[in-house]
Amino acid sequence: MTEPEGHEPAEPDDEEARPERDGGFPGPEDLPRSYHTERMMLMPRDPEWLYVYWEIPRERVDAAIAELGVTAETSKTVLRVHDVTGLIDSTSGRPQLAQSKDYLTHEVSLSSDHWYIKVERAERLYCVEYLVVAADGRAVSLVTSNLAATPTDRVSPITEETWVTGSPEGKHVARGTGPAETKWLEGEGNIHETLSSSGSAGRPQNVPPSEPSS
């Protein structure tokens, strides 16, 4: 599996160098770099990787640095990745980060606004904090992401699927579970009427390659 790495975002293009677009429709280069909000969004990429992006006004970061009584040169900004499986408050639905002992830390630059994160286990629930940290370990948390669950890394235990197919003329309906035991049923009308009368309406449908022989 290719392992992506966190990296610095590219600088926006010079507005004067942006080409005119046909029809006046906006393109990716026309979108603003910032929406002047404060948010952090987390999503799973696969069982082993998370992707997070954020927007935090620089004045919020500067205020946290001032609160710690340090400078930008003597502090750092970090992502703290919490495994919050089993740590969700039943009343508020929010993670109890004060009880989190299982977390990873990634240092990021002030200009970063997204990051790929390698996690240890699949089928776990995660959230990410963005913090400003002083050299002595004191920290100010600025924003916390939503919750995101990594999917399973195992083959699905479901091996028998119920399915329905129909002939091109809509006169026959095949029903079965799994790859065997197919039975063809005669239909009075079209396939939709047949499915409805047999109690199978709404199930997946497709057309078999040839007319059944019996």
Distances 36 to 30, 33, 93, 146, 183 between C-alpha atoms, Å: 16, 9, 27, 19, 61
Cα separation of 185 and 175, whole Å?
8
Specify the DSSP element, H or E, that contains 117.
Answer: strand 114-118
Per-residue pLDDT of the chain (214 residues; tens, 9 = 90+): 455 555 544 444 444 555 555 666 777 777 777 777 899 999 999 999 999 999 999 999 999 999 999 999 999 999 999 999 999 999 998 999 988 887 999 999 999 999 999 998 999 999 999 999 999 999 999 999 999 999 999 987 777 666 666 666 666 666 655 554 444 444 444 444 444 444 444 444 444 444 444 4
On whether the CB atoms of residues 115 and 107 are closer than 8 A, the answer is no
CATH of the domain spanning 34-149, picked from 2.60.40.10, 2.50.20.10, 1.20.81.30, 2.60.120.1440: 2.60.40.10
pTM, 2 dp:
0.63
Cα separation of 5 and 108, whole Å?
12
On whether the CB atoms of residues 165 and 174 are closer than 8 A, the answer is yes
